[in-house]
């Protein structure tokens, strides 16, 4: 199963047959097409091995030079790149991000001013993942930065570790701003070229390379070609390289900033990169201690020894890079299947053997866990179905839900009625919806497309029964994301708004309606300030300055004869005082 690779004359060579057998057994269980591993020991590459196929359909083997998407191992490169700039005095990573990237904003004003560069790199900004901002792949890194101000925080700054690809995206933009180079150019010139590494940063580059792996994914226990899903948060996870090249990255960090006799970083700065900052949690396995996050690296103990590591996962890819600093050992495992336990099984086995310990039977442990998860899928589906309130119907005819609904960061969800059902579309994705219960509809499962499966979409109404927004749980650690219904109908027509101009009387009060210089309606009642009218639906406008107040213009044909005031304390009518220019 393994492809040819050099086995050096070291004590590690005697372990190769056992490693090969374990790889074959584990890859068969998880149906992983291909894997490559590298072991670094005492400053040198002690072993590289390659298994299986990088492309099943073309029957191409994995070699140590096969290129994989290493996903979030990229974060260790980003943090190290920031360390270079810090070391050169071009930035101070203890200072607020806004000192160097003034347009950086979070939804909380205090957090905006206080979040430091190290907070970004250690996932302590208070911002949870909000991964559906970048997952559709339709936004460039710079386009995501201004969206962060519209995303709800789930914690206060520096109180909780919360993994955030968007914060690492911001760190990549920060590198560009301070260095004057693109993120890709800076990483290549200052790091990977000096280590003799071949890297690229996009699927286009990856696929055009000499030996690209092809990604695969699973549908329960069936292996399929994976979606072609680009990683647009480049600094968070987009590096592609081989395990042979990644070995040099491990040598740099195990060498405390020195590689092949050349010092790229001061040892003290590497130590800062590896110093735990944020508590992640306690492992379920007794062999591990409490996990922490440093700067681009995870930190833990395994059977009493300190580990520095980072994993990576994406549709079709799974990777793990692990350092045992005090022992001078590094292990990297790259695979072209998501997700599996192959990287962890091989890594911990190799570390156990190199440290002279009886290895833990991780294969058996994880196989049982995998089998339990698969066996429990029907019960999970049954429990979900039981949570549904049956024999309920939507409160409106389907056409009433059809509209565009917008969120300032998540974009626009379009709901349309087609062939007796509602269909949704959002940022290149779309599907028919099924009525779940009450005012909630649900998306279908779509295996071969990027799509948020089985996600509820709930419509909300105002007190008069008008559908005004929908909500979707796109980030589970905060309240549902609310998309406001976009204005539509006569209210958005400048010609109609012009017909609304005039004076209307309700009792002793005169209401004067005018247009401002931008064509917006202004309402001025006697003895009250002027109010702005914002289009809603049909002929209805929201009074901007009065929460819960709206007005509706009514009339026959082109003539507007009445204003209907929809207020919390009732509904009131004002009749036009003038017709055809005469009182």
Q: What is the pLDDT of residues 55-105, one digit of tens each?
A: 999 999 999 999 999 999 999 999 999 999 999 999 999 999 999 999 999
Tell me whether strands 403-407 and 337-338 are parallel, antiparallel or unpaired. unpaired
Q: Which residue has 């901002």 as its token pair?
A: 133
Intervals of CATH 3.40.710.10 along the chain: 2-51+60-375
Sequence-ordered list of residues with C-beta below 8 angstroms from that of 495, at least 6 positions apart, any chain: none
Q: Are 342 and 26 in contact (CB under 8 A)?
A: yes
> In terms of CATH, what superfamily is 2-51+60-375?
DD-peptidase/beta-lactamase superfamily (3.40.710.10)
Give the model's pLDDT for residue 579.
56
pLDDT at res. 86: 98
Portions of the chain given CATH number 2.40.128.600: 398-485
Cite the beta strand spans of 378-445 per DSSP E.
Answer: 403-407, 411-418, 421-426, 429-432, 434-437, 440-442
Backbone Cα Rg of the chain: 29
The torsion angles phi and psi of 49, rounded to 5 degrees, stand at -140, 150
What whole-number distance in Å separates Cα of residue 377 and Cα of residue 162? 28
Residue 557 has a pLDDT of 80
Query: What's the CA gap between 65 and 48, in Å, rounded?
Result: 10
- Residue 463 has what pLDDT? 85
Give dist(CA 270, CA 268) in Å, integer.
Answer: 5
Residue ranges of the chain with per-residue pLDDT less than 50: 4, 7-8, 580-583
Separation of alpha carbons 344 and 40, rounded Å: 16
Q: In whole angstroms, give the CA distance from residue 291 to residue 279.
A: 6
How many of the other CB atoms lie within 10 Å of CB of 376? 11
Written as six digits, the tokens of 119 are 């907070």
For residue 57, the number of C-alpha atoms closer than 13 Å in the C-beta half-sphere is 8
What does the pLDDT read at residue 2? 55
Q: For every residue of 256-289, which 3-state class applies, written as one string?
A: CCEECCEECCCHHHHHHHCCCCEEEEECCCCCEC
Tokens of 37: 């591993």
| DSSP assignment string, 516-535 | -TTS-EEEEETTS--EEEEE
Q: Which pLDDT score, from 0 to 100, does residue 464 have? A: 86
The pLDDT of residue 583: 41
Q: How far apart are CA 398 and CA 379, in angstroms?
A: 32
568: tokens are: 């919390």
pLDDT at 581: 44
Q: Output the CATH code of domain 490-576.
A: 2.40.128
Tokens 């998306």 -> residue: 443
CATH number for the region 398-485 comes to 2.40.128.600
Q: Which residues contact 124 (CB under 8 A, 6 or more apart)?
A: 157, 158, 159, 160, 161, 162, 277, 278
For residue 482, count other CB atoms closer than 10 A to its CB.
Answer: 16
Report yes or no: 53 and 62 within 8 Å, Cβ to Cβ.
yes
């Amino acid at each position: 199963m393994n492809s040819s690779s050099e086995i050096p004359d070291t004590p590690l060579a005697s372990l190769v047959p056992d490693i090969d057998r374990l790889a074959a057994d584990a890859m068969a269980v998880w149906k992983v097409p291909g894997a490559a591993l590298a072991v670094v020991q005492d400053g040198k590459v002690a072993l590289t091995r390659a298994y299986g196929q990088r492309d099943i359909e073309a029957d191409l083997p994995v070699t140590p030079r096969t290129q994989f998407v290493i996903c979030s191992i990229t974060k260790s490169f980003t943090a190290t790149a920031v360390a270079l700039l810090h070391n050169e005095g071009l930035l101070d990573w203890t200072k607020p991000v806004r000192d160097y990237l003034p347009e950086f904003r979070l939804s909380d004003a205090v957090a905006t001013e206080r979040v430091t560069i190290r907070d970004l790199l250690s996932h302590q900004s208070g911002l949870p993942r909000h991964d559906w901002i970048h997952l559709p792949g339709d936004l460039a890194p710079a386009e995501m930065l201004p969206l962060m101000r519209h995303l709800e925080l789930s914690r206060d700054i520096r109180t909780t570790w919360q993994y955030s690809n968007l914060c690492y995206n911001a760190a990549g933009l920060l590198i560009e701003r301070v260095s004057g180079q693109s993120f890709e150019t800076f990483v290549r010139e200052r790091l990977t070229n000096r280590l003799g590494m071949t890297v690229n940063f996009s699927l286009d580059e990856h696929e055009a390379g000499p030996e690209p792996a092809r990604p695969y994914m699973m549908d329960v226990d069936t292996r399929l070609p994976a979606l072609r899903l680009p990683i647009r948060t480049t600094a968070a996870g987009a590096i592609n390289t081989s395990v042979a090249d990644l070995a040099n990255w491990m040598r740099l960090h195990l060498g405390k900033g020195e590689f092949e006799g050349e010092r790229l970083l001061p040892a003290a700065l590497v130590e800062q990169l590896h110093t735990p900052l944020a508590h992640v949690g306690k492992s379920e396995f007794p062999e591990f201690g409490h996990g922490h996050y440093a700067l681009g690296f995870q930190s833990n103990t395994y059977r009493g020894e300190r580990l520095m590591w980072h994993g990576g996962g994406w549709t079709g890819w799974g990777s793990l890079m692990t350092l045992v600093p005090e022992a001078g050992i590094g292990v990297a495992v790259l695979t072209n299947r998501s997700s599996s336990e192959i990287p962890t099984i091989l890594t911990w086995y190799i570390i156990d053997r190199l440290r002279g310990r009886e290895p833990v039977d991780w294969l058996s442990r994880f196989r049982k866990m995998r089998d339990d998860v698969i066996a429990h899928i029907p019960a999970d589906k049954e429990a979900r179905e039981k949570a549904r309130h049956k024999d309920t119907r939507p409160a409106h005819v389907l056409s009433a839900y059809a509209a565009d609904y917008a969120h300032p960061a998540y974009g626009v969800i379009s709901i349309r009625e087609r062939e007796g059902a509602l269909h949704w579309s959002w940022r290149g994705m779309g599907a028919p919806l099924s009525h779940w219960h009450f005012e909630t509809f649900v998306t279908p499962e779509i295996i071969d497309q990027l799509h948020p499966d089985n996600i509820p979409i709930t419509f909300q109404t105002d007190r008069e029964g008008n559908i005004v927004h929908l909500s979707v749980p796109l980030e589970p650690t905060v309240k549902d994301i609310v998309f406001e219904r976009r204005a539509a109908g006569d209210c958005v027509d400048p010609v109609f708004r012009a017909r609304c101009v005039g004076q209307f009387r309700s009792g002793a009060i005169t209401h004067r309606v005018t247009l401002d210089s931008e064509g917006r309606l202004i309402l001025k009642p006697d003895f009250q300030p002027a109010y702005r009218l914002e289009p809603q639906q049909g002929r209805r406008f929201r009074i901007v300055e009065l929460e819960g107040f709206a007005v509706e213009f009514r009339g026959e044909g082109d003539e507007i004869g009445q204003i209907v005031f929809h207020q919390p304390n009732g509904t009131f009518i004002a009749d036009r005082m003038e017709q055809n220019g005469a009182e």
